[in-house]
Structure 1
Amino acid sequence: MKLTLREKTSYGIGAVSKDLVYSLVAGFLMYYYNAVLGISATFIGVLFMAARLFDAFNDPIMGVIIDKTKTRFGKFRPWLLIGTIINAGVLYLMFSIPTHLTGNELLIYASIAYIVWGITYTMMDIPYWSMIPSITEHGKDRENLAVIARSSAGLGFAIPVALTMLLVPILGDGNERLGFSRFSAIIGVVFIIGIIITSFNVKEKVKAGQKNPKVKEMFQALIRNDQALVVVVAIVVFNASLYLTNQLAIYFFRFDIGNAALFGIFGTIGGAAQIVSMLFIPLLRKKFNAKSLFIGGIFTTIFGYGILFILGTLNITNIIFLSIAAVIIFIGFGIATVLTTVFLANSVDYGEWKNQHRTESVIFSLQTFVVKLASAFSVLIAGVGLDLIGLDVNAPVQTEATLLGLRMLMVALPMVGLLISVLFFMKFYRLSEDKLDEISEDLKVRRETEKAAKAGVY
């Protein structure tokens, strides 16, 4: 059965709303903890790394719990709603730390809030992405749904980037601490509304009909799913590289460019370019296969980073030139991001075809597991790096050495990571279009045979 416009739109709304939250935390929590609350960057880096490591090991467990869940609403939607409601509340508390807390009390509150936020976000995020193979079994529908979801997520991610540093001073009447609290409340409410719309309009349709394997059997199946692991490794390095830039961008615009509000313009233009590139993927897929587009997308992003590095080296801080770099970076990022979801969904079919087990939640949780593992070290590098280069958030002007170090952290390291990612993917990914068609046909026959056998037709 083909997906309806209502289903596609509702799934996209969920992506917008959840990435509003993720963008606010990923792009501004370090800044909030460091520049607003005065917590040291190194402590934040260590905290974020520890929390991500803890959360990463929680992801596969969540995937198993989802796979074992059986309700009349399906196995994904209950967790989607529960995780969203709790996470929205924790988001507000995380950006509303009481002013009387100082010293160790402040550090304890900030640490607990961030760890709990990560756990509850996992409760919502894994079922959201794991739903794709269960919503439709048609490859093209999955690809289109992934495009819609990633495009919508790009929009959701871009909104806080564009508006946070503009609205926070207004909402807080010049008080950043109060402004962040009120802004997080608004984001949380929109988040809940968006996921409710998704949960009530998107149904799970594809049921593989396999027995529930033991946890050990699930992980053994994942180890044997070599193509899922190839995709996940590429995703790890790819996302970790970009996450490093995302953590440091607000510092770059505040201290190097000299105007934190310009980060909103940079992010808006880049986000718009990302969304446009995502929307053009169905058209591009008519001329190029998914693997070629993914490789081209990453090399495009690397090229954009190269331009940004040159601009920084030559001290060219004009927003027009910076925006050109942003457009190139985000176009490549948008294309590659959508296709990683497509590759992962395809690897679910490959795993079922090869191992006789369809464990989409475990595979998708493996993605978040290793991404969080890699991003844990990225955020540690960002936090410790800020202290090592001597950045002082209270100083009106930074030294040239500090600014150079900031550019190296934000641009040079991600370029190296992206190059490693694309070279690895080029060498080891082998699910061609023809191979996927063969797998799809084999699975269709297998499911029909199993259905007939259960009905007593031999």
Structure 2
Amino acid sequence: MTAAPAGAASERLPMRTKLGFGLGGAAETVVLYSVSSFALLFYSQVLGVPAHMVGLALSASLILDALSDPVVGSISDRTRSRWGRRHPYLFAAAIPIGVTGWAIFSPPQGLDHTGLLVWLTLSVILMRQAMTFFYVPHLALGAELSPHYTERSKVMGYFSFFNWAGGSLTTIMALRLFFPSTPEYPRGLMNPGPWPSYAIAIGVVTSVCLLASAWLTKDRIPFLPKAPEGTKLFSFSEFFGDIGKALRNINYVWLLAAYFFVALMIGLREGLRLYAATFYWDLSSETLSWFVLGSLAGYLSAFYFAPRLHGRIDKKRTIMISALAYAVIPPIPLVLGMMGILSPSTPGLAPILIAFAAVQYGAISVLQISVMSALADIADENELKFGVRQEGVLYATRTLAGKIDHAIGIALAGAVITLIQFPRDARTHADVPADVLFDLALWDSVLAAIPGVIAVGFYALYGINRESYERTRAALEERRAAAAAASSAPTRTAPDGGLAPAPAE
């Protein structure tokens, strides 16, 4: 791997770089959060498409998207250009993502259920394929901005915090600006009128922020690792070789296995979250918008504490604790609801739920920061072992596993809505039978937590710590110094006119 120019890459990153990198995470979240949170509700409850069919369409798009992730990662890792390995794709993908994001929530008038399902499937597939060309190089960029153990955690902290900002902006825009409660639609998300305007808003915001992120980080291009001279262009034989190198790192395999179960839990919860909030807890759009406060508290806490926890108790323990907290704490209110302790009429219900939301978002943010930072450490191990840096492939293969499993979770969420016979014409809590609400709560709490608990066991097998990281970095620096010395060693002309090696000193 060609090293970056000395000096600048080893210094603390400027705030502009961290903010620019984080802004890309915010923009990604605007459109991805809209799809994961609103698409099932919009197409099933507003447009009347059967929920299990919507779930299958969303899942199919995720699976196709997942399969392309490692391909794009390998292409990006092998790219040689004056814009580096990542930025050509960041700039190219920004506009297509915004356009396809708009299309998802603005289907043509007059389509029947089959037509709507086809439109949803195609538009989400195109959006996710375009997003792959931003998301995968963007994550890889974050891993290589800094070589330092905790500075990497800080970079991923900005990414996680801006993820929150993007989701919160989307929540506020949707629930306060576009879908407020009205006499005709007391649950504003059921109002079909504002959806086209909302579609335009998320498309414009996403594209502008993605372009800004690419622009604000382009000054780091000279300091980033480059593909070596003579790197072969992408081919499927080279691609499978890249995947094989990644999977030969057992620490990477454990993270993949754990993420499989975490993503299953997230997919199921995301698909059912608005159903539980709207119909189980009977919360209005205005009340739901206040949950931004809980997520703000959680993400700010994670932004501050995650790097410090990595320095104090290391990344592995941080990962295990945050994964367990995310699995078992968020379901507690629903469990209390099933026990009859909490109900929509409980005084102070909203603050209670917001407090649990703070813990939920804090735990998942710490987990995200920690795992993303750990993947950069794995990239060091693979460079030492194979002589190549594989940030693109490492992050993309992880997202492949996660997206396939997330797709299963979303499909399962749609199947659950059908399985529990959730009424398609329900508009409020009163429209849903009590036994259906109980089943909804059971799936969104106890059953959804099981994969998360399993994930903790796999995270416990992860083996990189601060000491092993330091040994790997020292070995890499020694190898790079030797390579630099060899490339700069003087030569002399041999008697036959050829080049002879310089004498040893």
TM-score past 0.5 threshold: yes
Where in structure 1 are there 5+ consecutive unaligned residues? none
Q: In the alignment, what sits opposite 1:235?
A: 259
Task: State yes or no: 1:7 paired with 2:17.
Answer: yes
- Decide whether aligned partners of structure 1 residues 208 and 196 sit closer, same or farther in structure 2, where only a CA change above 3 A counts: closer
- Give 1:59's aligned amino acid: D
Deviation string, structure 1 residues 287-310 (Cα, Å, up to 9, x no partner) = 321111121212222341342232
More helix by share: 1
Deviation string, structure 1 residues 180-212 (Cα, Å, up to 9, x no partner) = 221232222222222222212212323265463
Deviation string, structure 1 residues 310-359 (Cα, Å, up to 9, x no partner) = 22213413212222222222221121111110111111111112232211
CA distance in 1, matches of 2:210, 2:112: 35
Task: State yes or no: 1:409 paired with 2:443.
Answer: yes
CA distance in 2, matches of 1:374, 1:413: 16
Aligned residue among 175, 179, 192 for 2:194: 179
More moved, 223-232 vs 364-373: 223-232
Residue correspondence of structure 1 range 4-403 to structure 2 within 5 A: 4-169=14-179, 176-202=191-217, 203-204=220-221, 205-207=223-225, 210=228, 212=231, 214-261=238-285, 262-315=287-340, 316-317=342-343, 318-395=349-426, 396=428, 397-403=431-437
Q: Percent identity?
A: 20
- Give 1:212's aligned amino acid: T
Where in structure 2 are there 5+ consecutive unaligned residues? 1-7, 233-237, 344-348, 491-501
Q: Post-superposition shift, 1:161?
A: 2.9
Deviation string, structure 1 residues 269-292 (Cα, Å, up to 9, x no partner) = 234323322222233334321111
CA distance in 2, matches of 1:171, 1:307: 28
CA distance in 1, matches of 2:329, 2:32: 24
CA distance in 2, matches of 1:392, 1:125: 37
Structure showing greater radius of gyration is: 2
Contact 1:250 1:260 in 2 (8 A): no
TM-score, normalised by the number of residues in structure 2: 0.85
CA distance in 1, matches of 2:147, 2:308: 21
Contact 2:263 2:402 in 1 (8 A): yes
Contact 1:41 1:383 in 2 (8 A): yes
Contact 2:80 2:226 in 1 (8 A): no
More moved, 146-155 vs 202-211: 202-211
SS in 2 for 1:177: coil
More moved, 381-390 vs 49-58: 49-58
- Decide whether aligned partners of structure 1 residues 38 and 260 sit closer, same or farther in structure 2, where only a CA change above 3 A counts: farther
Deviation string, structure 1 residues 247-266 (Cα, Å, up to 9, x no partner) = 21111122111234133323
SS in 1 for 2:192: helix
Moved over 4 A (4+): 170-175, 208-211
Contact 1:167 1:179 in 2 (8 A): no
Aligned residue among 470, 474, 482 for 1:441: 474
Q: Post-superposition shift, 1:158?
A: 2.6
More moved, 260-269 vs 111-120: 260-269
Task: State yes or no: 1:452 paired with 2:470.
Answer: no
Deviation string, structure 1 residues 140-178 (Cα, Å, up to 9, x no partner) = 322211111111112212322344233223599978334
- Decide whether aligned partners of structure 1 residues 327 and 169 sit closer, same or farther in structure 2, where only a CA change above 3 A counts: closer
CA distance in 2, matches of 1:105, 1:258: 32
Contact 1:221 1:357 in 2 (8 A): no
- Give 2:268's aligned amino acid: L
Contact 1:243 1:375 in 2 (8 A): yes
Over the residues paired in the alignment, what is the CA RMSD in angstroms?
A: 2.2
CA distance in 1, matches of 2:480, 2:150: 19
CA distance in 2, matches of 1:334, 1:279: 11
CA distance in 1, matches of 2:191, 2:293: 21
SS in 2 for 1:280: helix
CA distance in 1, matches of 2:197, 2:410: 26
